[in-house]
Amino acid sequence: MSSLPAITLSSLDHLRLTNLIERVSVKDFPGVTALEAELDRAEVVEPRDMPADVISMNSCARIRLHNSGEAREITLCYPADADADNGRISILAPIGSALLGLAVGQQIDWPLPDGSHTRIEVLAVSYQPEADGDYLR
C-alpha cells in the first residue's frame, strides 16, 4: 500500500467522531480501528476554515473505484443514516473512513474486508456542510 494522503477534518467532525468511537464496539464495527487512525493523522481546522473541496461528514461526493472503474455518487454519513443502496455510506464502513478528509483529486489505497485493496479517487464534492454553513445541525 502506498503512503497515505494528507487529510483535513473540521474540529466539529473530529469531536463528533471521537464521541462516536467511544460509544461503539470494535466487535460490532470493525471499521472503528481504521477511523481512529484517520482521526489521529488528520489536520484539524475550524469548520469555517474547511476547504470546500474536502469530504466531511454529510458531504456528497463523486468518487471512482479504480478496481472496477466505476464512478458513483456517495454521501458520507453516520451509521444510523447509512443506506448503501442509496449511496449513503457509513463512516464506519471501510470506504467511509477512507474518504473522510480527502480533497478533490486525491486518491487512497484502502484495504477491504476480504483482504484485497482498492484505490479510491475523489472526483468532485457537490455538497459540503461547512461550505454551505450547515455544519451545526
pLDDT attached to residue 137: 57
CATH number for region 8-129:
3.10.50.30
Q: List, for residues 64-104, the tens digit of each pLDDT value.
A: 998 888 999 999 999 999 999 999 999 998 889 999 999 99
Lowest mean per-residue pLDDT among 32-36, 55-59, 76-80, 126-130? 32-36
Q: Which of 56, 33, 61 is nearest to 126 (CA)?
A: 61
Sheet arrangement for strand 107-111: 88-90, 70-77, 60-65, 117-127, 107-111
More confident residue, 27 or 101: 101
